[in-house]
Amino acid sequence: MKSFFRLIRELPIPVRILLLCAMARAVSFFAILAYLPIYLHDALDMNGATIGYVLGVCLIVGTVVSVYGGYLADRFVKVHFMIALDVVLTVLYGGLPLIGSPLLVIGILLAANIASSSMSVTANALLADLLPSENRAKVFSLRYSLQNIGAAVGPFLGVWTVQAGQGGPFLLSAGVIFAALLPLLVFRKLFTGAAAQDAAARKEKTEEAADDAESMNFREVLRVMRADRRLGLFTLGGILSIVVYGPLLTYMSQYLVTVESRDTAYQLVAYISAANAIVVISTQYVIGSRLKEKTLLRWLTWGTGAFVLGLVGMALSTEAWIIVAAIVVFTIGEVIVVPAEYMFIDAIAPDNLRGSYFGAQNLVHIGVAIGPIICGFLLVHASPAAMFAALVALVIAGWWFYVLGCRATAPSTATAVGADAQKVNP
């Protein structure tokens, strides 16, 4: 615990601001997420299938376009790009309750998902720019814990603001994002100053690469990333893994409502949600701070093992204590895998393409949309046992792509355009 508080005290002010902003944006996002299906049904008269299509398409499009958002983050001053995205999100969420056209609402949600995904990518890249490599895993883990706190608080605040009117959660989200925007505006010179100092320290090393990056267009950046097998393999592993841990509450709700009464299912989902949040918040920093680049594959193997054990436990019984125990083990896997993925991408990303690499890694969130589709199909056309077997197979396949990614060699210097990243050893 002393090392935790020492780390907080030693963090630069810009990094502290980014961490607080990450938690604020999580509050904003989850305040809307919990309320959005109800709003689309009540205010716009959308049916359940249409709502699912709208939310799924917005998520997928936002995730894919965030690759270009990462490219823009490399081209512009990152903190200025974040400020612009925050302004866009504030306007979109603040204006959403005033829109009555379903098509316009869908367009706004699409734009908001693109801006939100690009914001996440840019924040990852800026955080890595501001930190020495030895502290990045710890801070990524700390940020993930803060985001989970925001995710736990956001839905309650969203429900509370509904009492103020139908658009209450949207106005809350706009206000929270605006509040997160203010410190970026006030202290933006600290961000640019820190980035400039870091750039000066690495000037001799990356000057040629930076010149190349300035002249590279988006197509050329994509060509560089395609040539890096490590990035492609790890992204595939991330997609398969997040299918399993990303939509946990969704597919467990789908499963439990088919094997238990509705009331029992709701109660068990509440236990699952609480257990997952408590384990993430209480263990994320403790475990994440121990991740090391040289032993990353070993940690990913342990994380995959935790996923498998948790899934087996959930498949065995719907007894509350067994479900909770299985979720605790399962969540340990999540606590390991999430920061490990960020650490790997940060390790292989050239300094001049860090935003683009994090944008590519952000494609893993496509798995969040895929998971419920696979699980729903298997529950309808096969059995719960088949669903859990498929999830186990997917997470093991994801681990194998991690293995291949860690063992792959870096692309040649000519192909990587000045890349200086080293290979992560198992």
- Helices 102-130 and 133-162: crossing angle, nearest 10°? 150
Q: In whole angstroms, what is the distance from residue 209 CA to residue 207 CA?
A: 5
Computed from CA positions of residues 352, 341, 362, 37, in that sequence, does the dihedral angle turn out positive or negative?
A: negative
* pLDDT of 336 higher than 80: yes
pLDDT of residue 19: 92
Q: In whole angstroms, what is the distance from residue 106 CA to residue 92 CA?
A: 11
List, for residues 214-251, the tens digit of each pLDDT value.
Answer: 557 788 888 888 888 999 999 999 999 999 998 888 88
- What average pLDDT score do residues 396-416 get? 79
Q: In whole angstroms, what is the distance from residue 184 CA to residue 190 CA?
A: 9
Confidence at 397, pLDDT banded by 50, 70, 90: very high
* pLDDT of 425 higher than 60: no
List, for residues 277-317, the tens digit of each pLDDT value.
Answer: 889 888 887 887 788 878 889 999 999 999 999 999 999 98
Find out whether 222 and 70 touch, Cβ atoms under 8 Å: no
Confidence at 418, pLDDT banded by 50, 70, 90: very low
List, for residues 123-152, the tens digit of each pLDDT value.
Answer: 988 988 888 877 787 888 888 888 888 888
List, for residues 151-200, the tens digit of each pLDDT value.
Answer: 888 878 887 887 777 788 899 999 999 999 999 998 888 887 655 455 44
CA count, 13 A, side-chain hemisphere, 415: 13
- What average pLDDT score do residues 12-40 get? 87
Q: What percent of the chain has pLDDT over 90?
A: 32
pLDDT of residue 117: 92
* pLDDT of 329 higher than 50: yes
pLDDT of residue 246: 87
Alpha helical stretches, state H, 260-295:
262-288
pLDDT of residue 141: 82
pLDDT of residue 327: 95
pLDDT of residue 175: 94
List, for residues 75-86, the tens digit of each pLDDT value.
Answer: 888 999 999 999
pLDDT of residue 421: 41
Find out whether 20 and 183 touch, Cβ atoms under 8 Å: yes
Q: In whole angstroms, what is the distance from residue 178 CA to residue 3 CA?
A: 32
pLDDT of residue 199: 47
pLDDT of residue 48: 66
Exposure b/e, 390-424, CB count within 10 A at least 16 = b: bbbebbbebbebbbbbbebebbeeeebbbbebeeb
Torsion from C-alpha of 125, 335, 116, 64, nearest 10 degrees: 80
Write down the pTM of the prediction: 0.80
